[in-house]
Amino acid sequence: MTDAATGTADDPALWPAVDQAAAIAAGRFSSRELTDHVVARIERLDGEVNAVVTRDFDTAAAAADRADAARAAGEPLGRLHGVPITVKDALATAGLRSTGGAVELSDNVPTADAAVVAAVRAEGAVVVGKTNLPRWSADSQSFNEIFGTTNNPWDLTRVPAGSSGGAAAAVAMGFTGFELGTDIGGSIRFPASFNGVWGHKPSWGVVPTTGYLDHVAGGDTEADINVSGPLARSCDDLELLLDVLARREAPWIPQLPAPRFDVDSGDGLRVAAWLDDPSCRVDAEVLAVLKPAVAALEAAGVSVDRDARPDLDPDEAWEVGLWLVRAAMTLAGEGDGPDHRSWLVRHARREELRRRWAEFFADFDVVVMPVAFVPPFEHLQEGTFSDRLLTCNGEQRPYPDVTRWTILTGMAYLPATVPPLGLTPADGLPIGCQVVGAYGADRTTLAAARLLADVAGAGYRPPPRALA
């Protein structure tokens, strides 16, 4: 197909999904041509990354042929018509193995799609395969006993983060038009930042999570804090996918208001910049990317307050949030969950913290924060989540600290958009940030993140091995 095998950024496999869909609709190339090309890229380039771990290429080819036949017949086309995609293996896919990274589900083949998978299929997306993750989505790396380890496409010795690590790596490498991830403690946000792609963690409850293979009742119910959301190569993709994925059925249909500022100029946008904190010091390599981006926003005339903070104790908020995340994941996976009274005590404290966040957002539209206190780190699989160590500014820190900046907002159900902002000076590793807003202000965080990336001259760029 035209430009498809050139090994350059002109390769349609590296385009935003909205552009892929538009090209298919206009007849520039067919769904089958793009699907075959993406499959060829996976077969040629994924051996060293190990992102796409279950492959369904024949079924995808047949689906692409049906998409092309529908277009030829003049049938109405969905907004993602003919776009080949992969799906995180924590989400059920009808007729295609879905394991959650757990050996107990090695042979699990669901009969129905997860809600978000059904939503994108209804808009014409073609599922090519499933992407890797940690067992039960419970780590900030992506490895398990079934499929092994996924590597960061920017540096194979480093992690793609987790738990949607295979998903984000697939987006970065052009193995998919976009991806569907999940996030309970940072599992969309870490991988977006570590792989240099866009990600959006919706406000809790906005997107249905049924069919998620990491909680009680086999995905038939929805878990506390956990969300499903998109990973992509552009903010346009995130905005479209939020519309596609948001729940449409009673008893609750979310209302997501438009931003209250000029989305083109930034006039009226009120930004707080919380880039570092004594409770979780941030590595100098991360700050070397975040600080210039915020300075560019300020230079563009946007109001930035570098001292504003919500009226809460970050340590307490993280401890409450981590307890609630672990409670939700215990119910999801294995072990005895907390007693109901203990949960109610923490939940009551969480509601107070949510109130304080709401008070903060009365004065600000968004707060810009780190995703993680370190850049992408080397593979670290020995020991448990609790006893591993990471190095920050030359000092060792507990591995669970990697969740401090994400749980602080996630446990409060807040939306967060991650734009890719640049590469670390020392090692050339991707860094993004969280653009966090009030509950339900998803369109605000998306618009503010787009503006931030634009003024910083940032955004998705393919890793060199994606151009090979």
What element of type H or E holds 130? Answer: strand 126-131
Q: Quick check: 262 and 226 in contact, CB under 8 A?
A: no
User: What counts of helices (H) and strands (E) characterise the chain?
Assistant: 12, 16
Strand partners, 392: 395
- Both tokens of 269, joined, read 């946008």
- Both tokens of 216, joined, read 């009680």
Rg (CA), the chain: 21
Cα distance between residue 373 and residue 354, in whole Å: 23
**Residue 352: partners with Cβ closer than 8 Å, 6 or more residues away:** none
**Residue 468: partners with Cβ closer than 8 Å, 6 or more residues away:** 7, 45
Cα distance between residue 344 and residue 161, in whole Å: 31
Cα 156 to Cα 36, 100, 220, 375, 421: the distances in Å are 26, 23, 36, 14, 21
| Catalytic position from the list 31, 88, 140, 193 | 88
Instruction: Report which of 17, 375, 380 is spatially closest to residue 177, judged by C-alpha positions.
Output: 17
Instruction: Report which of 181, 141, 183 is spatially closest to residue 161, judged by C-alpha positions.
Output: 141
What pairing do the DSSP bridges indicate for beta strands 179-183 and 148-149?
unpaired
- Per DSSP, the residues of 402-458 read GGHHHHHHHTTT--EEE-EEEE-TTT--EEEEEEEESTT-HHHHHHHHHHHHHHTT-
| Catalytic position from the list 98, 140, 163, 193 | 163
**Catalytic-residue membership of 187:** yes
Q: What angle do CA 178, 183, 186 make, to 5 degrees?
A: 105
Cα distance between residue 116 and residue 227, in whole Å: 11
- Both tokens of 187, joined, read 């599992």
**Catalytic-residue membership of 163:** yes
- Looking at residue 96, the DSSP 8-state letter turns out to be B
Residue type, 371: V
**Catalytic-residue membership of 303:** no
Residue type, 134: P
| Catalytic position from the list 30, 137, 142, 187 | 187
CA dihedral of 458, 463, 466, 468, whole degrees rounded to 10: 120
**Residue 19: partners with Cβ closer than 8 Å, 6 or more residues away:** 12
7 C-beta neighbours (distance < 10 Å), count:
10
Residue type, 261: F
Question: Which positions are catalytic?
Answer: 88, 163, 187
